[in-house]
A and B are shown apart, each in its own frame.
Chain A
Amino acid sequence: MMDTTAKTTIGAADERERPEGWNRPREMEPNGDGELLEVAMGPHHPSTHGVFRMDVALDGEHVVRLKPVFGYLHRNHEKIAEGVSYLASMPYTDRLDYMCSLTNNWAYALAVEKLTGQEVPERAEYLRVILGELTRVQNHASSIGFLIQEMGASGTPLMYAFREREKILDLFEGLTGSRMMCNYMRFGGCRVDASPAWLDGARKVVAGLPGFMDEMDRLLSSNEILMARTQGVGILRPELAVNAGVTGPMLRACGVNYDIRKVDGYGIYNRFKFRVPLGDHWDVYDRFMIRMLEIRESVKILEQALKEIPGGPVMDPKAKIRGFRPKPGEAYGRIESPKGELGFYLISDGGPNPYRYRVRPPSLVNLTVLEDMCLGHDIADVVLIFGSVDIVLGEVDR
């Protein structure tokens, strides 16, 4: 039994340092004549990656209040999924975070497998890891590209990232038939097997990734403008990050060692050697750098997985995919998606549809602290801080 008096966790720090409301955004006092300008950034703003609005109150150039407004892309994904069978919402999960459809598939398949106790064959687990890490590489590369684009470097870094993303999307297309809406995972495995030629193609793409990362490093990491714009901007304190449920690269940039691939070891992640990069300045530059380093770690996982992948079936032959009725009960399954913790919470009442189907969206929860990070900064930095959160509106609004 553990010692409950030991104050070791971040959330349980000394209460004296935690006055009432410590985890709320601080009240900003306007300087000067006290006149505030209210600006609605969005829903059609080039930096918001979709239809998202920030109602900002400005004192001169400084942000004194920021309220995010959601719902422009809301289609009640959860309600739709509760009206159809378990399998029928698998293609719809592609549309949540449309940059990373394969990790969405994986999270949903994992939750249903938890609910039904379904086993997954070894080769399918390897394919899931390979596709999940390829997804992470292309998501992080493009999110870095978008961040630099919003800084004013039009085109070049984003196109470098997209060139590499294109190779990965070609791999997805070759295996699943679709570049972005992959609809590939099934409960108890994967839909189709990968051919040896496809695996060779994947090895070739992965072999090219370290060179791409060196190129991005040379281009960006010590760039003077990038450092001037991002270092010390949008600082998020680790205790607030944990308290606000921030996950993914955002949380690790705050120096909190929490990677669900390590914590839960879901799938077969505990077989691979990789490190979890952590930030120590908690700013936008750290978030950029963590994503760069995570790509390199993903490449390590990919190399190991592509070397060790065994033969065998990709679907459990006993698995029921269509028209099954799980026993009444509930399950929460979560994975480390490129954006953070993506979870699916399912309640079964014994019927063919889920009684309750809930998506825990990392993008939405990571935006909780957007106001805290932006207060006191210039309006131009809001664009950068928002870009460093890395959200996709399909997942925020669901």
Chain B
Amino acid sequence: LKTLEEIKTEIEAAVPGVGVEIVPNPSVSGQHSLRLTPGHAFETAKFLRDGMGFDYLSNATGVDWPEREVAEKVRVTRQVTRTVDGVEQAAEETVEETRKHTEPGCLEAVYHLYSSSQKQGPLVVRMRTVNRTDQVELPSLTPIWRSAEFQEREIFDLFGIVFTGHPDLRRLLMWPEFKDYPMRRDYVEPDDFEFEPTAHDAVLARAEAHKAASAATGQEGTGAGQ
């Protein structure tokens, strides 16, 4: 069994210019992961399958990391003037200040890889999009592992990550006319769930139009068979 560091070194040797970063997992599960830069993810995945034997992609899923405000405590030294015994003196004082900054949000795709013959795994591989609004493309790994086909469609459906190179990227669970991405953290449920345009509505509209047309030409009948 190889350690994550060994796998990282091998990837860096095999795929020139790749950016691999080990993301530590503080939980007791000890499942640390590798973060790939999306630009080289496809070649890296190909190497993981063909060169390292990770031929089985078990789980592919998305995670939404919205923009968040991080409060940080910093110690700052500043010049103050103090009055000691009626005399003003310049002195240095160290105080604790809370500074806030916003971390940009992103969407993340997480893949769990195993090897079917060497009983190795899980190797957790993750990729991040640039942001959550307009740059949400990631390379699709479906050409490498077919098991990602429906799971990436599900990520696209529920999180809104666009997988470039996916052979058939459509919504999987929600209907095609649906607009939002339900698994995002800031998703708001619609008040009215009855807004799905069904085939039945289209048929009814057509029937109404047909009735109006036949009334205009003075013909009788329901429209059937005419």
Contact = CB atoms under 8 A, between A and B. Distances in A.
B131 interface: no
A244 interface: yes
A79 B53 contact: no
A71 B175 contact: yes
A70 interface: yes
A361 B154 CA distance: 12
A84 to B, nearest CB: 15
B29 A329 contact: yes
The interface size bin for chain A is: 35 or more
A9 B55 contact: yes
B104 interface: no
A332 B122 contact: yes
B6 A368 contact: no
Contacts of A115: 27-29
B41 interface: no
Nearest to A111: B29
Interface stretch (A10-18, A101-109, A184-192, A217-225): A10-18
B40 interface: no
Contacts of A243: 55-56, 145-147
A8 B26 contact: no
Interface string A114-147: 1111000000000000000000000000000000
A341 B31 CA distance: 18
Contacts of A365: 147, 150-151
Contacts of B52: 4
A11 B50 contact: yes
Contact of B61 (A74, A76, A358): A358
Interface stretch (A158-166, A169-177, A343-351, A382-390): A343-351
A8 B209 CA distance: 65
A360 interface: yes
A79 B189 CA distance: 11
A21 interface: yes
Nearest to A344: B59
B28 A116 contact: yes
A397 interface: yes
Contacts, number: 148
B6 A1 contact: yes
Contacts of A11: 49-50, 53-56, 116
Contact of B173 (A4, A20, A70, A368): A70
B117 A23 contact: no
Contacts of A364: 150-151, 154
A160 to B, nearest CB: 34
A263 interface: yes
A368 B147 contact: yes
Contacts of B58: 245, 247, 334, 341, 343, 360
A382 B43 CA distance: 36
Contacts of A114: 28-29
A240 interface: yes
A345 B173 CA distance: 19
Contacts of A63: none
B125 interface: no
Nearest to A341: B58
B110 interface: yes
B28 to A, nearest CB: 4
Given A329-B26, A332-B59, A9 B112 contact: no
A328 interface: yes
A10 B55 contact: yes
Contacts of B182: 76, 79
Contacts of A246: 147
Interface string A1-44: 11010001111100100001101100000000000000000000
A364 B154 CA distance: 11
Interface in A332-388: 332, 334, 341, 343, 345, 347-348, 356, 358, 360, 364-365, 367-369
17 contacts: A1-B2, A2-B118, A11-B54, A11-B116, A70-B172, A71-B174, A76-B182, A114-B29, A115-B28, A243-B55, A243-B147, A329-B28, A330-B29, A332-B29, A334-B58, A358-B61, A365-B150
Interface of A: 1-2, 4, 8-12, 15, 20-21, 23-24, 70-71, 74, 76, 78-79, 114-117, 240, 242-247, 256, 258, 263, 326-332, 334, 341, 343, 345, 347-348, 356, 358, 360, 364-365, 367-369, 397-398
Given A330-B25, A331-B27, 9 more contacts: A4-B51, A11-B54, A15-B50, A20-B143, A76-B158, A79-B187, A244-B145, A343-B58, A356-B63
